[in-house]
Amino acid sequence: MNLRAIWTIYVHEMSRTKRTLAQSVISPVISTCLYFVVFGSAIGSRITEVEGVSYGAFIVPGMIMLSLLTISVTNASFGIYFPKFTGTIYELLSAPISFIEIVVGYVGAAATKSVILAVIILATAHLFISLEIAHPIWMIVFMVLTAITFALLGFIIGIWAVNFEQLQIIPLLVITPLAFLGGTFYSISMLPPAWQTVSLFNPVVYLVSGFRWSFYEISDVSVGVSLAMIVLFLCVCLTMVWYIFKTGYRIKS
């Protein structure tokens, strides 16, 4: 394992955050404040509690997970797409490093930035409402696993995309709607039975449910099932990345 190569890629990707500070840090914080104003105040005045938890506190795990998903995908996809766009990816592929080191560097940096921003959003939310985390270790586990998994997904999207439109189409038209419909701002138990069944086909439900359990010990699905779904998705993404580098799909031509 070439640790120096991994560190070089990692540091280079992390340095992009300094150049895009407003977009990387300030924007998610402002979005969090707006979510609290719109959902916490407007809707919270009509829905005081959900399963014994105040509505303002209930939506915090969902807001963090929503940001974590989108930021992980965006950071990783842009990170690998730009070397393709500028042609520097060929220098990377010709260097004496394996695809594992390339993936660890890019995905590790994207996941790190996402986790840092998730912590910032959590601290911002704490300014609006008092929070208690029942299982902080499990919260970190869910946060890190989700960040790594969706950073891998973003890496795949960055390889697949051939232009900026394709780079943004999946995050905008697939991931964001699934996140909003995945119990981010509500419990699926509040839905009619038929829609509860439909919601179980949304993978984001399992992510949000498990993450919310780490805060308040309440969940829409079993915690074990939530963890299993994340691990399964992680394995699928790892398999796809392995296939991309094995076949050279859209990176060698």
pLDDT digits (tens, 9 = 90+) for 175-226: 888 888 888 888 888 888 888 898 889 999 999 999 999 999 999 999 999 9
pLDDT digits (tens, 9 = 90+) for 47-74: 777 888 888 888 889 889 988 998 899 8
Q: From its phi and psi, is residue 52 left (phi > 0), alpha (psi between -120 and 50) or beta? A: left
Q: Which residues have C-beta within 8 Å of that of residue 196, sequence separation ≥ 6?
A: 188, 189
Domains in the chain: how many in total?
A: 1
In a domain, 188, yes or no: yes
The Cα 233–Cα 248 span in angstroms is 22
Q: Print the domain residue range for 226.
A: 3-247
Q: What is the mean pLDDT of the chain?
A: 86
Which of 106-115, 120-129, 236-245 bottoms out in mean pLDDT, i.e. has the lowest? 120-129
Specify the pLDDT at position 19: 66
> Measured over all CA atoms, what is the biggest interatomic distance in the chain, rounded to whole angstroms?
60
In a domain, 106, yes or no: yes
163: pLDDT strictly greater than 80: yes
235: pLDDT strictly greater than 90: yes
Specify the pLDDT at position 45: 62
Query: Which helix (H) or strand (E) segment is 223 a member of?
Result: helix 223-247
pTM of the complete model: 0.91
In a domain, 252, yes or no: no
